[in-house]
Structure 1
Amino acid sequence: MDSFSSYSSQQQQEWAYDSFKNFGLISPAVKSHLKLVYLSLCFALLASAVGAYLHIIWNIGGVLTTFTTLGCMSWLLAIPLQEEKKRVSLLMASALLQGASIGPLIKLAINFDPSILVMAFVGSAIVFGCFSGAAMLAKRREYLYLGGILSSGVSILLWLHFASSIFGTSLFLNFMLYFGLLVFVGYMIYDTQDIIEKAHLGDLDYVGHALTLFTDFIAVFVRILIIMMKNADEREERRKRRRD
């Protein structure tokens, strides 16, 4: 029995060591590219936090900022890679406007319970770090097959959104929340490997890649925040019923 447990622990150590050696499959140029991508992502998240704060002060978030965000993102993707400063500026503008667009949700969370907002962000950061790291440690192209599956998942979400607008049942909304969270967590894995593969092939557009990961992070964060607020509200209602 002891020999089996020692063999098992040895196997686990070897597996962990081999997994971390997979970072060696990423060339130095790609590693430098990923540093720029994640640094840009961090600044984009800071810009989105500023945008949410501006909404709390001046109430600027809404449909207009949402369409403006899409316009800035489309403009960024249309600009040549040589115009780096303009593309970085558009990335920050897109992030700031995106933060203002989700500002009403963030303001609602703060009014309900500020700790939920903190836990949702920390949870999103942990999820992003774990799944993005798993994609880096995995073999090259291992998760790229997920692209077709995730695209089908987005199509299902669109049809469910259309159905919920007609029928308006809470069952559709609950399924859309959890299924959407699953889909965009999958996109974290897929997009990370896709970015690494593109970088190996010479595509070093760190601004566009940071924008991709930023949209994944925000999509996951919004769904985690809504789920946590919904669960907290249901717990509060159950407590009131027990008191009554």
Structure 2
Amino acid sequence: KQTMDALFGNRKIRLATLTDFSQISVSTKNHLKNVYTCLILCMLSASAGAFLHLKGIFAQSGFLSIIVSIGLMLWLAATSHSKENQTKRLCILTAFGGAMGLGLGPTLDFAVEVNPQIIMTAFLATTVIFICFSLSALYAQRRSYLYLGGMLMSCLTLLMVTSLLNLFMRSFAVFQFGLYVGTFVFCGFVVYDTQLIVEKHQNGDNDYIWHSVDLFLDFINIFRRLIIILGLNEKKNKRNN
């Protein structure tokens, strides 16, 4: 097998290792292809939903779309993942993605008000983060990051409790704490969920449609937080200038 080498100091690094997933079985690779295909479908649907909101269609449906997306997610989870239901579940997944895109409406409105370029910057940053953390999970030894599950869930619970308390405290410092820590937590979930999907498939769980939902939620949560962080920083810079 031909490889391309690059020299960095005295260390020789094989660039071919960047595409070496030999530790993953062929069937698992095919499963991951299906997962990421569904993830792309869901993201395209979410983009369409976000676009409709920005164009003034369903402009006031932010909270309602969140309720609808929860209902669609529960419907998807309750629908058997047999071959006969595959088309139906893909339609539910697409609708779920669209509802989540509409649910981003208030966050997108905030970004447009401050600087519309924030949306694209946040999307590109989220994409890079997502790809890097996903690859780190796939390159790593099997199950090596599954121990993160307990810690991540504990952190997520703490963030939820803190957010609820902050409804009464109204502390901007606590709000910022939730933003930054939440971003790191969902970056960790990208690693954890990726390895968990591999492990589930190894144990006979082939529901690639539902597995894509886990990764999609990780992406959306990072994206939303980055928009708010970038928007707040932009507003701060404008005040200082």
Same fold (TM over 0.5): yes
**Cα distance in 2 between the residues matched to 1:18 and 1:63:** 46
1:78 aligns with 2:73: no
**Cα distance in 2 between the residues matched to 1:69 and 1:122:** 24
CA contact 1:60–1:100 (8 Å) conserved in 2: no
CA contact 1:154–1:183 (8 Å) conserved in 2: yes
1:53 aligns with 2:51: yes
**Cα distance in 2 between the residues matched to 1:141 and 1:155:** 23
**Cα distance in 2 between the residues matched to 1:68 and 1:208:** 17
**Cα distance in 2 between the residues matched to 1:17 and 1:146:** 29
Provide the residue aligned with 2:240 in structure 1.
Answer: 238
> For 1:51-200, what aligned pairs fall within 5 Å after superposition?
51-56=49-54, 57-58=56-57, 59-82=59-82, 83-200=85-202
**Cα distance in 2 between the residues matched to 1:137 and 1:19:** 9
**Cα distance in 2 between the residues matched to 1:114 and 1:63:** 22
**Cα distance in 2 between the residues matched to 1:53 and 1:187:** 27
**Cα distance in 2 between the residues matched to 1:117 and 1:25:** 37
State the SS of the aligned residue for 2:138. helix
1:207 aligns with 2:209: yes
- Look up the equivalent residue of 1:99 and give its one-letter code: G
- Look up the equivalent residue of 1:167 and give its one-letter code: M
Provide the residue aligned with 2:6 in structure 1.
Answer: none
Q: CA deviation at 1:215?
A: 0.4
Bigger helix fraction: 1
**Cα distance in 1 between the residues matched to 2:75 and 2:114:** 36
- Look up the equivalent residue of 1:26 and give its one-letter code: I
Q: CA deviation at 1:61?
A: 2.5
Q: CA deviation at 1:157?
A: 0.5
Provide the residue aligned with 1:223 in structure 2.
Answer: 225
1:26 aligns with 2:28: no
- Look up the equivalent residue of 1:199 and give its one-letter code: H
Q: CA deviation at 1:60?
A: 4.1
Gaps of 5+ in 2: 1-8
**Cα distance in 2 between the residues matched to 1:118 and 1:147:** 30
CA contact 1:77–1:208 (8 Å) conserved in 2: yes
CA contact 1:195–1:209 (8 Å) conserved in 2: yes
- Look up the equivalent residue of 2:217 and give its one-letter code: T
* Count of aligned residue pairs for this structure pair: 229
**Cα distance in 1 between the residues matched to 2:110 and 2:169:** 26
**Cα distance in 1 between the residues matched to 2:109 and 2:168:** 28
Provide the residue aligned with 1:242 in structure 2.
Answer: none
**Cα distance in 1 between the residues matched to 2:22 and 2:220:** 30
* Percentage identity across paired residues of the two chains: 35
**Cα distance in 2 between the residues matched to 1:18 and 1:188:** 21
**Cα distance in 1 between the residues matched to 2:110 and 2:176:** 19
The TM-score, its normalising length taken from structure 2, stands at 0.91
CA contact 2:110–2:231 (8 Å) conserved in 1: no
Q: CA deviation at 1:112?
A: 2.3
Q: CA deviation at 1:18?
A: 6.1
TM-superposition CA deviations, 1:74-130 (whole Å, max 9, x none)? 110111011111111111111100000111211331232121111000000000000
- Look up the equivalent residue of 1:127 and give its one-letter code: I
Gaps of 5+ in 1: 240-244
State the SS of the aligned residue for 1:64. helix
The TM-score, its normalising length taken from structure 1, stands at 0.90
TM-superposition CA deviations, 1:118-149 (whole Å, max 9, x none)? 10000000000000010000000000000000
